Amino acid sequence: MASIRQQRIAEQIHEEISALLMRGLKDPRIGFVTITGVKVTPDLSRAWVYFSTTGGEAVAEQSLEGLNSAASYVRKVLGKLLHLKHIPEFVFKYDTSLDRGDRIERILSDVREQEGWDDPARIRGSADEVAQALRKHQRFLVTGHLNPDGDAVASVLGLGRILESLDKEVVLYNPDPVPHNYAFLPGADQIKSTPGDEPFDATVVVDCSELSRTGPLPAEAMRGELIGIDHHLTTKPLGTVHYQNPGASSIGEMLYEIMGQLGLKMDFELAQCIYTSILSDTGSFRYSNTSPAAMRVAADALALGVSPWDVALEVYESQPLARVRLLAKVLPTLEVDASGRYGSILVTQEMFTETGATKDLIDGFINHPRGIQGVEVAIQFREENERLYKVSFRSRGRINVAQIADKFGGGGHANAAGCSVTGNLEEAKLQIFSAVEEALQA
């Protein structure tokens, strides 16, 4: 929103330029011009002056040239009339429509662009706003996304502990089971597969940029205030109260910040959850989201007694045999395109049946195509049924795969994203490969 001062200055400029035009500017190119709106930048360095003319586009273009060449004269005159320390630079713009709604829309979109409102990497809301909402309510539902990963499990458990330490009543919920390698986390057996029938004062959704990624939630009247804590790239954070920070490595790191706002310190169990959340989402402190802040929080967890090897033993070194047998079937499906810049693997229902593995066991398979020298984008197709494929993307860094996934109604992070596509395998591959090729060529 423009400040009151910005608005006032814009109005003054509007009035004075209109008056100047009434008196007549010398330039013959300037036709019958009406100023339709003025917008001033927050630092008052620049003003967009929208105008309309009679006589169609050709006249408008000539007028625009005339106005722009008169701009410094207009600025000098206004400098004397308006008692301002600094007069903005004027940029005249032809207002193609007299339709007010359309004009306002355009002015708003200029402001949004200039202020970075549509930048999906922007922080929205704050740890403090969420902390206040957590204090305010009593009975909470806490949930993460379906097919939970380490971050989704560990941060739901971590938030549960935080709320319990504030003497709140908490139900932890996810219809999908906890993956075997995160079952060691304290409280993992407390996650319910349904939210129950009792109403909640608030529902906290973590690690989801869209509500469609969670399991079925209670009806709106039953779920209370919706609170979102997320770190995906998005312009539309979820919840009436939210903290959306795409710069955070993981929800665990964000919880640590929220705890700071609440004046709470981690205990050993909470440190296990927060450490595991960061470990999982940074790919064991390898990905580009491994920031100094993430390392500091992890260091704090170690200081409280968390053992990196004990956690690694659970998370990485306790693979069920079925997972390795499944991997043995998946790797022969590897395809790399002729240019060597993208590669894909396929996981079918039949492979699950043959090996007895479940879908939560394929986490990390996609790192095999991504790890190939020269491959910039790795793709994994997982068959849901004959006409539905779950697609995962990983990028080596140059290509933003969240943008590719977004084209198919999915999303995620710049380097890890996903979506679903309908069609048989060939159709799914065709759609996905051409989108990836387009991204690689851009």
Q: Which of 203, 171, 175, 169 has its CA nearest to residue 187?
A: 171
151 binds, among ligand 5GP, Mn ion, none (CB under 5 to 8 A by kind): Mn ion
Contact window for Mn ion (CB under 5 A) among 238-246, 274-282, 310-318, 401-409: 274-282
Q: Are 249 and 291 in contact (CB under 8 A)?
A: yes
Say whether residue 207 binds Mn ion (CB under 5 A): yes
129 binds, among ligand 5GP, Mn ion, none (CB under 5 to 8 A by kind): none
Strand-pairing partners, residue 417, are 393, 412
Q: Are 410 and 419 in contact (CB under 8 A)?
A: yes
Nearest-angstrom CA–CA distance, 224 and 24: 61
Q: Which is nearer to ligand 5GP, 39 or 232 (CB)?
A: 232
In degrees rounded to 5, what are phi and psi of residue 67? -65, -45
Q: Which of 100, 124, 110 has its CA nearest to residue 39?
A: 110
Cβ neighbours for 274, distance < 8 A, ≥ 6 positions apart: 154, 158, 252, 253, 255, 256, 266, 297, 301
* Contact set for ligand 5GP, span 389-428 (CB under 6 A): 392, 410-413, 416-420
Q: Which is nearer to ligand 5GP, 165 or 420 (CB)?
A: 420
Of these, 10, 36, 131, 151, which contacts Mn ion (CB under 5 A)? Answer: 151
Q: Which of 367, 381, 376, 362 has its CA nearest to residue 421?
A: 381
Q: Which is nearer to ligand 5GP, 161 or 213 (CB)?
A: 213
The binding track of 219-248 with respect to ligand 5GP, each residue x by CB under 6 A or -, is: -------------x----------------
Q: Which is nearer to Mn ion, 184 or 287 (CB)?
A: 287
List own/partner pairs for 330-334 with CB under 8 A and 24 or more apart: 330/362, 330/365, 331/368, 334/368, 334/369
The binding track of 341-380 with respect to ligand 5GP, each residue x by CB under 6 A or -, is: ----------------------------------------
70 binds, among ligand 5GP, Mn ion, none (CB under 5 to 8 A by kind): none
Say whether residue 74 binds ligand 5GP (CB under 6 A): no
The amino acid occupying position 284 is S
Q: Which residues bind Mn ion (CB under 5 A)?
A: 151, 207, 281
Q: Which residues bind ligand 5GP (CB under 6 A)?
A: 209-210, 213, 232, 392, 410-413, 416-420
